[in-house]
Amino acid sequence: MPDLPQPFVLRDWHRVATDYDRFVFDREKKGDHLPLYWEESTRVANDVDGFGIPAYVGDFRQTPASNAHEAINTMSVVLGGTLVGLDKEAYAAKLRSKFHKKDGIGLYLNHYTTTGSSYWYDTFPSLLFLHLYSHYPDIPGYREQLVSTAEVWRKIAQELDGDFEHTGYDFIKKQPVDHGWKEPDVVAGIACIQYLCHLVTEDKQYLETASKALKWMDRRTENPFYENLAPYGAYISARSNAEQGTQHDTAKFIEWVLNGKNPRKWGAVLESWHGTGVHGLIGSVYPEYEYAFAMNSFQSVGIMAPIARYEDRYARDIAKWILNVAVNARYFYPNAWPADNQSSWQWAATYDPDFCIPYEGLRKQGTTRDYPEGDELIAGTFTEQDDPKSPEKDMILTADSEGGIHYRGKLSVPPGTKQELIALVSHRTYWNKQPVKIQLSQTADGPAIAELTYRADGTTNLRSTPCAVEGDCWITIAASGLVPEKGRVVVDDLLVETRFANPPHVGGDPTVHGWGATDLGLYGGAHAAFLGAMVKPSSVEGIILIDPIATDMMAPPSYPTRLIYNPHPTEKTITLEIGDQPKLIYDAIGNHTLSQQESGNMALSIPAKSARMIVMPPPGELSAKEARLYSGAIVVDYSYPPTQ
């Protein structure tokens, strides 16, 4: 990542977060897809009334009528407001509606009625709950829910016995599930849940489970990162090392989050996209499909910032990463781009003039997908299986009396740099393993400009070589030699994908897949509060002040702390605000006292491309004990004397 991201434009993240909170909770908002907030009293999972907020602006699936909404969204908006100093206790109490009590599961889960689709979806609500518990421990029922959460996950870890190579866990059937991919970084989430629950309950069995999970991470060689659980493992490793004297491999776990060398190609962007520097943002770094996500970028730096305090040898690098994200995260928002580089400019410009709601993500290469309509059967019969509200193609084609299938659909393809024909063919019955031809043509009867063939080798996800096409086109599917009136071809998707010009692009999945009217992601926007809570500008451009305690979970007592990185090639001096009360000024990275007593403002020099972590206890003597430095009973430095 660059030392100093350019151009250096730093949004006021605290204001972004407070504007977002005000917008989301405003029940009087008028306009398309507004208001966003609704009350709900279904009491499906627990005898508490709750509230809903859709995952996206204009989400077709999540509305007051359907009452479908996700815990990772509603919990995040409450946590976000809390992190930037707003009193959200009344809403935090309403979140208890998402705690599964009636069905005996004993956890916060993402949905009321489904479980087991993905580890991260089912683990993240528990982690969000623990973060909320840090701020609202006295909400009735929270303590019991904390214990239940710890116990359920402890038993799951015990049941899995080191085998985390699954997609998720079905809490109804009480067994792991597999959907064709693995999310073993659930172990990082389990380690964090168990460790934090131990801090509250002082129950040693939770500390033992956390230790086992971290040791599993120590032994693992393959990076397991996917979506958002691995950052919790890096964080809790550093905290365990600082508080318990363990020697877990925090450096490796930080690398797991950043380097992208894992089966899912998930990590930090370490390049510019078509001249735009987006270094440090988190998401898919899979070549040709790079896609950074707002939620993951905000959340990763927020969860991992406290590592700087617990293991300060990583403080400089973490500060440099946070600087890159604090600058580059502005690219998730509509006001950072011309209208042609985004999918939902009109709504944002009309209803969100403060631009506090980001897009779901940023793509190195934006694409759009177009699906055939005006279905015509030349041979065989046709059954449409998809949701009528979604453009995605999902159909069953059945052979005629001659054993033939011939389908044709018309579509309009927008201009772009290139197009590809894509088909997803799945289950077949009475098929006789005959080839199935799928063609894209510019006239109803051909010739083909792109072609796919489904054969007997089991390959189902087909993508043509790039072609150039624009305007009206036809897709045909043809097969012969099937069992008459029984042979079937099941098509799970059928489309033409077009790559946009002038990349990169901001957008999301809803408009591509037909989930919603916009790609503005409310579930990601709430997490901007992580930056809002911990990042402020300094008196020198390019240097920011980072509070590594602001986003800590169940944080131990501490004194005001500022992590400050100088990205410039020369030494810089900033003005550090101390406050009216005198304070001792200590640098936890340099392991020495800079001043015995300061108040008001202090001139603080920072060497070139270096960092200081300033801790400000009251004036007085500091005492060393067991590799820590204290002011009174509170730790000032967790790495003292410095490690050689």
DSSP string, 357-411: S-BSEEESS-EEEE--EEEEEEESEEEE-S-TTS----EEEE--TTS-EEEEEEE
What CATH number is given to the structural domain containing 592? 2.60.40.1180
- 454 pLDDT band (50/70/90 cuts)? confident
Q: Are residues 104 and 242 in the same domain?
A: yes
Q: Are residues 469 and 576 in the same domain?
A: no
What does the pLDDT look like over 593-619, one tens digit per residue? Answer: 999 999 999 999 999 999 999 999 999
Angle subtended by helix axes 119-135 and 142-160, to nearest 10? 150
Gap between the Cα atoms of 30 and 619, Å rounded: 54
The answer to whether position 417 is within a domain reads: yes
Query: Residue 567 in contact with residue 3, Cβ under 8 Å?
Result: yes
Tell which of 243, 260, 277 closes a domain: 260
- 390 pLDDT band (50/70/90 cuts)? low
- Coil/strand/helix, residue 191: helix
Q: What is the pLDDT at residue 427?
A: 65
Q: What is the pLDDT at residue 644?
A: 47
Q: Which of 384, 336, 400 is nearest to 362 (CA)?
A: 336
The answer to whether position 615 is within a domain reads: yes
What does the pLDDT look like over 60-111, one tens digit per residue? Answer: 999 999 999 999 999 999 999 999 999 999 999 999 999 999 999 999 999 9
The answer to whether residue 191 scores a pLDDT higher than 80 is yes
Higher pLDDT, 466 or 188: 188
Tell which of 197, 226, 260 closes a domain: 260
Gap between the Cα atoms of 585 and 581, Å rounded: 12
Q: Are residues 583 and 461 in the same domain?
A: no
Q: What is the pLDDT at residue 391?
A: 67
pTM for this predicted structure = 0.91
Q: Are residues 486 and 593 in the same domain?
A: no
Q: Which of 48, 147, 122 is nearest to 92 (CA)?
A: 48
The answer to whether position 44 is within a domain reads: no
Q: Are residues 216 and 131 in the same domain?
A: yes
Q: Which of 185, 320, 329 is nearest to 266 (CA)?
A: 185
The answer to whether position 352 is within a domain reads: no
The answer to whether position 78 is within a domain reads: no
Q: Are residues 458 and 561 in the same domain?
A: no
Tell which of 449, 466, 499 closes a domain: 499
Q: What is the mean pLDDT of residues 145-172?
A: 96
Looking at the chain, the whole-number percentage of residues with pLDDT higher than 90 is 86
For residue 182, give its domain range. 100-260
The answer to whether position 284 is within a domain reads: no
Query: Residue 225 in contact with residue 257, Cβ under 8 Å?
Result: yes
- Pick from 267-276, 370-379, 562-571: least confident: 370-379
Q: Are residues 563 and 493 in the same domain?
A: no
Query: Residue 180 in contact with residue 234, Cβ under 8 Å?
Result: no
Report the domain count for the chain. 3
Sheet holding 592-606, edge to edge: 535-537, 544-546, 561-565, 611-615, 572-587, 592-606
The answer to whether position 138 is within a domain reads: yes
What does the pLDDT look like over 316-332, one tens digit per residue? Answer: 999 999 999 999 999 99
Q: What is the pLDDT at residue 459?
A: 58
Q: Are residues 442 and 581 in the same domain?
A: no
Q: Are residues 227 and 130 in the same domain?
A: yes
Q: Mean pLDDT, the chain, as a whole number?
A: 94
The answer to whether position 42 is within a domain reads: no
Q: What is the mean pLDDT of residues 357-377?
A: 92
The answer to whether residue 432 scores a pLDDT higher than 80 is no
Q: Which of 424, 422, 421, 454 is nearest to 437 (CA)?
A: 454
Q: Which residues pair with 410 in a beta bridge?
A: 373, 474
- Coil/strand/helix, residue 416: coil
Q: What's the DSSP call for residue 520?
A: B
What does the pLDDT look like over 484-531, one tens digit per residue? Answer: 999 988 888 899 999 888 899 999 999 888 889 999 999 999 999 999
Q: Are residues 485 and 570 in the same domain?
A: no
What does the pLDDT look like over 280-317, one tens digit per residue? Answer: 999 999 998 899 999 999 999 999 999 999 999 999 99
Q: What is the pLDDT at residue 456?
A: 65
Gap between the Cα atoms of 565 and 224, Å rounded: 30
Q: Are residues 493 and 613 in the same domain?
A: no
Q: Are residues 462 and 569 in the same domain?
A: no
